[in-house]
Amino acid sequence: MLLIEEEMQVASHDSGRRFPGDKPESLFTTSHAQHARKEKSKMNVKNNKMLRRAGILLLVLGIIFSMGSATFAAQNDLDWTSVPNLTTYNMPFNQVVTQGQIGNAEFMVQAADSSYRPLLFPSADYPNALSYSWSHQGEEGYYSDDMTSAIISGYPSGYVAKYNILLRPDVDIGANVLSITSPAGGYLDLGLIVNPSSAQPDVNVNIRIYHDSVSTDNNLVSVTRSVNCDAFRSEVNYPTAIDSVASVAQIPKDTAEHSVNAYITQLKVGKNLYVGGVNNKYWMYAVYDSDGNRRPISLKVGGEAYMIEDGDTVVWLYGTWGSLPASIS
């Protein structure tokens, strides 16, 4: 009896050997066991394949994330001390295209030192770290999808960021502004001005001129009048912020002659001549809507690029930079 117990302990139940008291397995039970083993084997193979695929996917994601982290770290490690600002590379700040025109326009951007002296970017990582966005006056304007960016090698050594814009015939007239910023806080606003092919109607606006600050005591002119697009002659065919001030005061000299890039350096109001640069005072403007809120784009483009509209209030100030309020009464 002991021997039989030992044999039962060492002999597997499915070895084919039978012992006293064993109940014979039915054909269904044996077949079911075999089927279960096959299914388990198939499941193990399937699970192994899924694990391998998951492992490959995790490996690929790890590589992608590590590359992104390396790029992010490289951009964060850039030293912007010598190139804190941005400026254009051998081109004006504003470009004019005719409404309906097709083709391409491009802007090229380089670095600038603390005094805004132009410098090339030291490496390709710097222009790669720049970010940009669009804003526009009309309902239909330019967007990031209309633009491609590239990095080119400048002369004699260094790098420049190049932005190519695909012109669309359906864009509304007015200023489109490409705003470019660096991680160091440098920024640059570039105007793509969509110009109508013919002169636009006059507009009725409020015109105010101040010195030192925007206050009642420092007001030089406050009138409401119709403004024509030819008050200040340039290639722009819609009434502009400079047209408004040219209709009530004399502009003896401007920097960029009569073009979209003009800005006022001197203005004669009545008998008094106000010259830019004296005591750190310059001529600047902003446009406000009918509720007295400043229109943001007016701070991003020159006065001859900004299209004024009926009901606007155009404020010109002879003062220090940053003195224009966010709203007016």
256 with 211, same domain: the answer is: yes
pLDDT, position 291: 96
In a 3-state reduction of DSSP, which class is residue 253? strand
List, in sequence order, the alpha helices (H) in the chain. Answer: 2-10, 27-76, 125-128, 241-246
CB distance 209 to 248 below 8 Å: yes
Specify the residue for token string 């490959």. Answer: 56
pLDDT, position 73: 43
Beta carbons within 10 angstroms of residue 240's beta carbon: 31
Nearest by Cα to 268 from 285, 287, 246, 286: 246
pLDDT, position 211: 97
CATH number reported for the structural domain that contains residue 299 in this entry:
2.170.130.30
222 with 152, same domain: the answer is: no
- Cα 318 to Cα 16: distance, rounded to the nearest angstrom: 108
For the whole model, what pTM was predicted? 0.76
215 with 311, same domain: the answer is: yes
The series of mean pLDDT values per 10 residues for the chain, 329 residues long, is 29 40 46 55 58 61 52 66 96 97 96 96 96 96 94 83 97 98 96 98 98 97 98 96 97 87 95 96 97 97 97 98 95
CATH number reported for the structural domain that contains residue 165 in this entry:
2.60.40.10
End residue of a domain, out of 147, 174, 195: 195
Which residue range forms the structural domain that includes residue 139?
85-195
Nearest by Cα to 271 from 250, 296, 257: 250
Task: Please report whether residue 209 resides in a domain.
Answer: yes
End residue of a domain, out of 195, 216, 234: 195
146 with 221, same domain: the answer is: no
- Cα 264 to Cα 322: distance, rounded to the nearest angstrom: 17
End residue of a domain, out of 177, 195, 213: 195
Total domains present in the chain: 2
CB distance 85 to 186 below 8 Å: yes
312 with 211, same domain: the answer is: yes
Q: Which residues pair with 108 in a beta bridge?
A: 162
pLDDT, position 39: 57
